[in-house]
Amino acid sequence: MISGLVRDFERLLGSSSVLYQPEDLLLYEYDGSVEKGRPDVVVFPTTTEHVSRIVQLAAQHDLPVVGRGAGTGLSGGALARTGGVMMVFARMNRILEVDAENHRAIVQPGVVNHDLTLAAEPHGLYFAPDPSSWKSCTIGGNVAENAGGPHTLAYGVTANHVAALELVLPSGEIVRIGSKHGDAPGYDLTGLIVGSEGTLALVTEITVKLSRKPEAVKTLLAIFDAVDDAADTVVDITARAITPAACEMLDGWTLRAVEDYIHAGFPMDSAAVLLIEVEGLTESVTAQASAVTEVCNVHRAREVRVARDSAERELLWKGRKNAFGALGRLAPSNYVLDGVIPRSKLPQALRRIQQIGQQYGFRIGNIFHAGDGNLHPIVLYDPRDAAQFERALEASAEIIRYCVEIGGALTGEHGVGMEKSELMPLLFSDADFDLMRRVHDVFNPDSSLNPGKIFPLSKGCGEIRVRKPPAHAASTK
């Protein structure tokens, strides 16, 4: 069956755009998560018409299709959980239009996030969503997972910056939804597709909203001798109705690893730092920076530094955005979590995360979007030790469960994917799942697009299971 499909794909795309040998497929069985899922064949379309025909050919061979961008996702959303055809959008990477006058751009899904900002910069514009992987992640992947980033606090997630989409449905039909120049009347189908993790349709073209670069920007580094003081500062900034463009937090153990790697200027002897950015008109930025500094001082900040110039600002952000890589120097692997909590409960959540780490025998680092309560605890572990890997999964599930217990959510920006599908009953009832499934089945009735994602695989929707270690986790004993 696969050999016949491979021949069909090679006739359509050329042999250099079709992979099916085991050694090639190994490269596509993982992403940035701890999950695994190997496809049967990988294809690289370059046009919407290619995507449509690939879907039709896969359906004729009764194989599912999984869309994939750069593979930087952290929830297993772009993995072939049940095998099938993986459609990689890396070669659909053209910026089709930058409409500076109307603050819009039209891009293919394989365009890298940061490349879009570089293309818009000569017009005084930029693309606001900025995941930490922005120099490698793609707009299509951002749309699938509704990605966020440090500046989500002021500007929102990807859904807030998408105006229209071109889609390929499971039948191969090509449709357009949304409107380039404003909110389309009727149902918000664009909002439905963004964040649906490729389970409803394949996105082949994206019309995004561009933002004008602010007149002034100030980046502040607040240094604390106690984690609770830093967390309380975030709570107080929110209570005083101060809305920075970004408010990031790193604990002391984590920032020392980052500083040792990046040399961003983080103080090695501090317990925590806040990286806070304010932007807008010059006068308002000055006033906001002063207000933020006052709040930090109230909560015993040892020092509040203001970046002297753009070079120092960029270095501070380089430290933040390369933090996951810095921690990769301390252990064979790490598990990056993505939970959401009410900002008012940030101090207690951090204490509970440390307790869970001690309970399971892990040192857990904390790097996160403190301003909007989006936590990213990082569990360092050795994937070659099956028992250790299983404990890492159990600790991670307990952290996410705690986030929900105190009024939060399972994910802020990484998506559900394979990682959290079995934890979905923590938030949703059987009736909720029934309604979501009915919406899903209108678009994707045969589950031919990205099966095994979002919805729990448990027999009963109310049952919660912790995942078992995948096949790649083998004991070293």
As a whole-number percent, the residues of the chain with pLDDT over 70 amount to 96
Distances in Å between the Cα of 403 and the Cα atoms of 9, 345, 414 are: 45, 10, 15
pLDDT score, position 459: 44
pLDDT at 470: 52
Provide CB contacts within 8 A for 450, sequence distance 6+.
64, 65, 66, 67, 77, 197, 198, 199
Provide the pLDDT for residue 211: 97
Q: What is the pLDDT of residue 468?
A: 53
Q: What is the pLDDT of residues 78-115, one digit of tens each?
A: 999 999 999 999 999 999 999 999 999 999 999 999 99
Both tokens of 285, joined, read 């930025």
pLDDT confidence of residue 185: 87
Give CA 31 to chain center in angstroms: 12
Write the CATH number of the domain with boundaries 2-88: 3.30.43.10
- The whole-angstrom separation of Cα 415 and Cα 244 is 25
Distance set, CA 22 to CA 5, 27, 158, 451 (Å): 16, 9, 35, 22
**Secondary structure in 3-state letters for 156-193:** CCHHHHEEEEEEECCCCCEEEEECCCCCCCCCCHHHHH
- Above 90 in pLDDT, residue 474? no
> Taking the domains of the chain in order of start, what are their residue ranges?
2-88, 101-212, 216-321, 331-443
- What tens digit of pLDDT does each residue of 233-260 get? 999 999 999 999 999 999 999 999 999 9
Residue 131 · residue 148 · CB < 8 Å: yes
Query: In the structure, what pLDDT confidence band is assigned to residue 471 with cuts at 50, 70 and 90?
Result: low
Instruction: Say if residue 23's pLDDT is above 60.
Output: yes
SS3 content of the chain, % helix, strand, coil (to 5): 40, 20, 40
Say if residues 303 and 235 touch (Cβ distance below 8 Å): no
Q: What would the two tokens of residue 69 be? A: 């961008």
Q: For residue 453, what is the DSSP state?
A: S
pLDDT tens profile 326-357: 988 999 999 999 999 999 999 999 999 999 99
* CATH code of domain 331-443: 3.30.70.2740
**Residue 83: which of 417, 458, 416, 451 has the closest Cα?**
451
pLDDT value of position 427: 95
* Residue pLDDT, tens place only, 283-304: 999 999 999 999 999 999 999 9
Helix (H), strand (E) counts: the chain: 15, 20
pLDDT at 50: 98
pLDDT in tens, 357-406: 999 999 999 999 999 999 999 999 999 999 999 999 999 999 999 999 99
Q: Give the span between the Cα atoms of 289 and 6, in whole angstroms.
A: 59
Residue 303, CB-side half-sphere exposure with 13 Å CA sphere = 9
Instruction: Find tokens 């932007």 and name the residue.
Output: 279
Report whether pLDDT(463) > 50.
Answer: no
For 101-212, CATH gives 3.30.465.10
Gap between the Cα atoms of 281 and 147, Å rounded = 27
pLDDT of residue 476: 36
Q: Which two structure tokens, joined as six digits, stand for 153?
A: 């606090």
Same fold, 216-321 and 331-443: yes
| pLDDT > 60? residue 466 | no
- 139, HSE (Cβ side, Cα atoms, 13 Å): 30
Q: Per-residue pLDDT tens for 167-197?
A: 999 999 999 999 998 777 899 999 999 999 9
φ, ψ of residue 302 in degrees (nearest 5) = -65, -35
The pLDDT of residue 92 is 98
Q: What is the CATH number of domain 216-321?
A: 3.30.70.3450
Q: Give the separation between CA 222 and CA 237, rounded to whole angstroms.
A: 13
469: pLDDT strictly greater than 60: no
d(CA 103, CA 107): 13
**Mean pLDDT computed over every residue of the chain:** 94
